[in-house]
Amino acid sequence: MAKDYITFTIGPKKDIALIAHDNEKPKLIEWCREHYAILKHHNLYGTGTTARMITDQTGLTVKGYNSGPLGGDQQIGAKIVEGVIDFVVFFSDPLTAQPHDPDVKALMRIAQVYDIPMAVNKATADFMITSEYMSTDYQHDVINFRKTIQERADTL
């Protein structure tokens, strides 16, 4: 029988998703400026407008997906499932209702399921970006979904 968990390694060069709600975009851009020296050594991804603004205002190269309300959060979530994204910084706005809140919750859930580090505010992002793990390998255990699928298929 296969193991319940599989160990994955996040390498020293991280694939980082950068996302921010509209009211939080200036904070994320400033955060990227503050941590430019670290971020420039990693692969950066982001949702629509956020990715464009970070690139334009900081000089960092950020691969852009759709805007969050147009499916960008879901695209980032899919990249987590595919093993492309292994670190998420999402400056969310806790005081403003978001029309795509279910998408945001789905992204947060998938990051949790795949044991992906996710910061939802500046303090957490500061702790994560300055962690010793930013420049080293990090091993983490993820549920063995193939085993789960096989077990479900065997019982149905």
Chain Cα centroid distance, residue 111: 7
**CB contact set of 16 (below 8 Å; sequence gap of 6+):** 39, 42, 43, 44, 45, 85, 86, 87, 88, 89
How many CB atoms are closer than 10 A to CB 146? 10
Closest CA to 55 of 68, 46, 65: 46
Single out the catalytic residue among 15, 73, 86, 103.
73
DSSP letter for 4, please. S
Provide φ and ψ at 141, rounded to 5°: -95, 135
- Among this protein's residues, is 86 annotated catalytic? no
Q: For residues 24 and 28, give the distance between their C-alpha atoms in angstroms, rounded to a whole number.
A: 6
Residues labelled catalytic: 73
